[in-house]
A and B are shown apart, each in its own frame.
Chain A
Amino acid sequence: MARHTSLLALLAALPLLSAATRVNGEPTAGFRGRGPGGFSLEGKTHQLRVEDDGTLLKVVVPLAGLQTGISLRDRHMRERYLEVDKHPDAVLALPWALVKLPEDGRSLEGTAQGTMSLHGKSHDVQVRYRLARTGSVYQVSGSIALDIRDYDIDVPSYFGVTVQPEIEASASFNAERP
């Protein structure tokens, strides 16, 4: 009977755990890439969600909403390179055990080992993050350097301009964690 009660309690707690971290306000996620000379491009989306099961924090960015400021380039990015119909999300998974949280009213910066899943491939990545805490609200920003070739994404090239495969992906959002 006691075992059954514990199991029921755990099952009841799971939704609470999964909702333990909530994103507030307008999040931003994106990437910055470079080409020859001073060529650069930035992609940005305000679609981001967090999944938290208490042991693993997942930052999920739907890629269909990424915009670079040029519609045709966005279409090529979605269809030719990211193939978002097959691989709709970029997911960064971080074990809570590796994340330090600041005291109330303080901020801290750090790095943590996470796993980046993109275009059907997953690789360990080093995440640089900054957390600033006010009560139960955390201002979160982080970035990772990645090479799109590691994720079997073709290196974009268009009318003589080839983008460098090394890009920086970043995200910033406010999260509430009771």
Chain B
Amino acid sequence: MSRSRRLLLGPALVLAVLLPAVPAEAYPWMIRHGYTNCSSCHVDPSGSGLLNEYGRAQDQILVPMLWGRAPDEVQPMPGILYGAVPLPSWLNVGLSLRGAVLATTNSQGTRWRDILMIADLRAGITAGPFIASASIGYLPVGGLLAAVTHQPRDNLVMREHWLGVRVDDQKLYFLLGRTNLPFGLRNVEHTSFVRSATRTDTNSAQQYGGQVVWDGPGLRAALMGIAGNFLIQDAAYREHGYSGYVEGAFSNAFTLGFSSLVTNADKGLSSIANPYVIDPFFNASDVWRQAHGLFTRWHVGGPWVLMAEADLLVQSASGVSRDWGGTGLVQADVEPIQGLHFILTGEALRQNQVTSGGAWFSVSWFFFTYAEARVDTIFTEFGVAGGGHEASLSVLGQLHFSM
């Protein structure tokens, strides 16, 4: 492969993999209701995706707009499909559909796209000490790192599939399989710099490996030994290493955590979150990727929740100068009426000596049980190698059903 083609492939892969899809659901703002841990509601003890029986009830009580009903009058429906299909307590099933229209304006004009982001069926078991979870879905484009078929488009994706055991009153978990990487905030904005630059989003960045998770009073932690993403056919691109976090809950309203990730691969995939930068580590040999940082969630009071993450990024490879960079995100989520969220996000990124910044204004409206409409207005100033910036304005409208 010529050098010019390789240079183009990096940004192209970023665009192909990241832009067309949006992640599974994870709502770190649930700390507003005193939930500092994730396993109360999710099958995955670090959160995101399939809900358990308690989570499905909370999803009906705390998430949607109530349209005049008093919050204490909500009677959660057991089972799924608005109570039409009962489920035994050990079985969890979920369906997630998310479609969107994306308009992006930059110096080259405006581009419109309609996107099927998620069409996933999820199932899981929580029986005694044994737990398991798997998802299967269809994506017309994107999500290639989670694709079990290998077509240029129209692929089946399996983002997660793992087995586990939980012991010690559900405090200690051992998981084995393809799981989300335990790192930082598990925020839904998977194209945010903190998720894309660390490649720890819940869209398609899952890897195979083993995890030990501790979910105890006031402290949760996870450490994953990464064996690689076996859905990548060329083994040279599979990463090996670890990813983990430890997060302390200093009250039911404030947490502070530390994350760390180190991986090595014979050949590098792109971790560039800026499509205007050519990634020198893409296809380089013996690529080491590191991310270390802090994250916090804080229910300030009333409808206000603040979340933040800051990560140091270090990357090195044979024959490529070591790159020191960083990324950060600050997000305020205000929910003045149950079900209606106004979200302000600021983010920054420095990779390969280029600095970028962005601001999001999002409105997320859970207008009915299991149903969400969301609009994100994203302004980004991407740094350009050699100086200057390229401005981009994206408007993303989404309709999402998850049950």
Tell yes or no: A42 within 8 A of B by CB.
yes
Give the nearest-CB partner of A35 in chain B: B40
Contact assessment for B72 and A71 in the assembled complex, using a CB-CB cutoff below 8 Å: yes
Contact assessment for A69 and B33 in the assembled complex, using a CB-CB cutoff below 8 Å: yes
Chain-A contact segment, one of B103-111, B181-189, B210-218, B276-284:
B210-218
Cα distance A56–B189 in the bound complex, in angstroms: 58
Contact assessment for A38 and B249 in the assembled complex, using a CB-CB cutoff below 8 Å: yes
Contact assessment for A37 and B37 in the assembled complex, using a CB-CB cutoff below 8 Å: yes
Contact assessment for A74 and B72 in the assembled complex, using a CB-CB cutoff below 8 Å: yes
Give the nearest-CB partner of A34 in chain B: B217
Contact assessment for B216 and A38 in the assembled complex, using a CB-CB cutoff below 8 Å: yes
| Contact residues in A for B45 (Cβ distance below 8 Å) | 37
Which residues 12-62 of A sit at the B interface, judged by CB distance below 8 A?
Answer: 34-42
Tell yes or no: A161 within 8 A of B by CB.
yes
| Contact residues in B for A75 (Cβ distance below 8 Å) | 72
Chain-A contact segment, one of B50-58, B116-124, B379-387:
B50-58
| Contact residues in B for A72 (Cβ distance below 8 Å) | 61, 71-74
**Residue from B32, B34, B61, B171 within 8 A of A40 (CB atoms):** B34
**Residue from B34, B52, B220 within 8 A of A42 (CB atoms):** B34
Contact assessment for B54 and A161 in the assembled complex, using a CB-CB cutoff below 8 Å: yes
| Contact residues in B for A34 (Cβ distance below 8 Å) | 217
Contact assessment for A68 and B34 in the assembled complex, using a CB-CB cutoff below 8 Å: yes
**Residue from B34, B52, B252 within 8 A of A160 (CB atoms):** B52
- Contacts A68-B34, A70-B61, A159-B54: A38 and B72 contacting too (C-beta < 8 A)? no
Contact assessment for A158 and B215 in the assembled complex, using a CB-CB cutoff below 8 Å: no
**Residue from A39, A42, A70, A159 within 8 A of B56 (CB atoms):** A159
Q: Scoring B residues 66 to 81 as 1 if CB is less than 8 Å from chain A, else 0, what string do you get?
A: 0000111110101000
| Contact residues in A for B170 (Cβ distance below 8 Å) | 36-37
Cα distance A75–B56 in the bound complex, in angstroms: 19
Cα distance A42–B35 in the bound complex, in angstroms: 10
- Contacts A69-B34, A71-B72: A38 and B54 contacting too (C-beta < 8 A)? no
Secondary structure of the B side of the interface? loop
Give the nearest-CB partner of A76 in chain B: B72
Q: Scoring B residues 240 to 257 as 1 if CB is less than 8 Å from chain A, else 0, what string do you get?
A: 000000000100100000
Contact assessment for A71 and B54 in the assembled complex, using a CB-CB cutoff below 8 Å: no
Cα distance A6–B328 in the bound complex, in angstroms: 76
Give the nearest-CB partner of B62 in chain A: A70
Name the distance in Å between B191's Cβ and chain A's nearest Cβ: 29
| Contact residues in B for A40 (Cβ distance below 8 Å) | 34, 36-37, 217-218, 249, 252
Cα distance A127–B220 in the bound complex, in angstroms: 30
**Residue from A37, A71, A159 within 8 A of B53 (CB atoms):** A159
Tell yes or no: B89 within 8 A of A by CB.
yes
| Contact residues in B for A69 (Cβ distance below 8 Å) | 32-34, 252
Cα distance A41–B37 in the bound complex, in angstroms: 11
Name the distance in Å between A82's Cβ and chain B's nearest Cβ: 15
**Residue from A39, A70, A158, A159 within 8 A of B37 (CB atoms):** A39
Q: Scoring A residues 152 to 168 as 1 if CB is less than 8 Å from chain B, else 0, what string do you get?
A: 00000011110000000
Which residues 51-104 of A sit at the B interface, judged by CB distance below 8 A?
Answer: 68-72, 74-75
Which residues 164-221 of B sit at the A interface, judged by CB distance below 8 A?
Answer: 166, 169-171, 215-220
Contact assessment for B34 and A159 in the assembled complex, using a CB-CB cutoff below 8 Å: no
Give the nearest-CB partner of B35 in chain A: A39
Name the distance in Å between A78's Cβ and chain B's nearest Cβ: 9
Residues on A facing B (Cβ under 8 Å): 34-42, 68-72, 74-75, 158-161
Q: A70-B71, A161-B54 are in contact. List 18 more A-B contacts (CB 8 A).
A: A36-B170, A36-B171, A37-B37, A37-B39, A37-B169, A37-B215, A38-B40, A38-B171, A38-B215, A38-B219, A38-B249, A40-B218, A42-B252, A70-B61, A71-B71, A72-B73, A72-B74, A160-B53
Residues on B facing A (Cβ under 8 Å): 32-34, 36-37, 39-40, 45, 52-54, 56-57, 61-62, 70-74, 76, 78, 89, 166, 169-171, 215-220, 249, 252
Please list 22 pairs of residues, one from A and one from B, whose beta carbons are closer than 8 Å in the complex, sorted by A's number. Answer: A35-B40, A36-B40, A36-B171, A37-B37, A37-B40, A37-B45, A37-B166, A37-B169, A38-B36, A38-B40, A38-B218, A39-B37, A40-B252, A42-B252, A70-B34, A70-B71, A72-B73, A72-B74, A159-B56, A159-B76, A160-B52, A160-B54
8 nearest interchain CB pairs?
A: A38-B37, A71-B71, A71-B72, A37-B170, A75-B72, A36-B170, A37-B215, A159-B57
